[in-house]
Structure 1
Amino acid sequence: MRLSVCFLSAFVLAAPLFAGPQTFTPDTNHTIFGFRASTLLFDVPGRFDSYKLNIKGDPADLAGASIRVELDATSVDTANALRDKHLRSAEFFDVAKYPTITFTSTAVKEVAKGKLEITGTFTLHGVTKQITFPITDAGTGPGMRPGSIVAGFIDGALTINRNDYGITAYSGMIGNDVAITLNVEADKVSGK
């Protein structure tokens, strides 16, 4: 009897955590927005260190979520300061003119348990296109802190053609395809 009372109490206390729309913000220690571009000699991995991410939705139904990402293009980091400065120039990201890279979801579809397709508008270098981002491991669950919830979108990967976004410099030396990757862990915002 004691076990069932404890279980029922835990369920009743946890139910509000998982009911209805919630707002989540990124855990910056476990979130990476990255990319990989190929050159004639080697691949160049990079990431954006400064970003804003907002996820709103019902943890029990990720398919109804809305997602907004804003990457600070000036925060590009490839572990090479000279290359990063060049990527910020007008030949690539042109951060003086286009300081932000954005994605706003228009639809989130669960295609299988833990697998999502997130469709939305992606704006890079002043060009906006609709893309669909496949996520191979998504879900929600209890966080490390008592009463907390985390949402995760893990192993998201998509390839874009940089020419489609007006980034055409060094096309003979740098591949046109750029792989975009993401791993996101987000925490529920208290009271929202």
Structure 2
Amino acid sequence: MTAGVTPVAIELPESARYRLVPTRCSARFTVTKLGLFRVSGEFTVSSGAVSVADGVARVHAELDAASFRTAMSQRDKDIKSAKFLDVAVFPTLSYDGELVGDRIEGTLRVRDRLVPTDLALTVVHFGPDRVDATATARIDRFEAGLTKAKGIVGQFVDIALTVTLVRSEGERT
């Protein structure tokens, strides 16, 4: 949980649709290098939505795989190559899940692999027209099929998402 942030209880509407505001979203990650150093970077959140029907919230989000960036351009080029993300063939990382309490249970698609991935969720603001939230997860890159450089790059990638969603027009209940 973010220091100083009190989670807001979620009282879902019976039916609603929210869309992500990509310019107000971030997807940051950290991974260890050589077991000693932490490498940080980010992806661009390209799109997403939350649909609520019968009190059940379903989440879909997409990250632009080619937007992968760290502080080293050669590393970025390598990660985007066919050895890792293969952005020429798989331009999008996608996530689909369902809200269950204070987490989202779902699946992350990396390349052609589906990886079970639960997001720990903190809702910072939940209003009638806007939702601001943060979510974190730990992803096993080996399970995602990203097995190159095992001795150099750590197995687990920590992800931190910050998102803003706005209620879609015509979706007031």
TM-score by length of 2: 0.81
SS at match of 1:49: strand
1:70 matched to 2:56? The reply is no
Alignment-derived partner of residue 42 in structure 2: 47
What is the aligned length?
159
Give how far 1:29 is off.
3.6
Give how far 1:47 is off.
1.4
Q: Residue 57 of structure 2 aligns to which amino acid in structure 1?
A: A
SS at match of 1:172: coil
1:108 matched to 2:108? The reply is no
SS at match of 2:24: coil
Larger RCO: Structure 1 or Structure 2 (Cα < 8 Å, ≥ 6 residues apart)?
2
1:150 matched to 2:127? The reply is no
- CA–CA distance in 1 between the matches of 2:52 and 2:26? 21
Q: Summarize deviations over 1:22-52 as a string: whole Å, max 9, x none.
A: 2212233431122111102521111112511
In proportion to residue count, which structure has more helix? 1
State which of 146, 153, 161 in structure 2 corresponds to 1:182.
Answer: 161
Alignment-derived partner of residue 38 in structure 1: 32
TM-score by length of 1: 0.74
Cα pair 1:49 1:77 within 8 Å, conserved: no
1:21 matched to 2:15? The reply is yes
Cα distance change on mapping 1:190 and 1:175 into 2, 3 Å: same
Alignment-derived partner of residue 81 in structure 2: 89
Alignment-derived partner of residue 51 in structure 2: 56
- CA–CA distance in 2 between the matches of 1:21 and 1:189? 12
SS at match of 1:56: strand
Question: Structure 1: where are the runs of 5+ without partners?
Answer: 1-17, 111-115, 143-148
1:171 matched to 2:150? The reply is yes
Q: Summarize deviations over 1:55-108 as a string: whole Å, max 9, x none.
A: 1227xx9x6211101112111121432221111011211112222111111x31
Cα pair 2:27 2:45 within 8 Å, conserved: no
Q: Residue 160 of structure 2 aligns to which amino acid in structure 1?
A: T
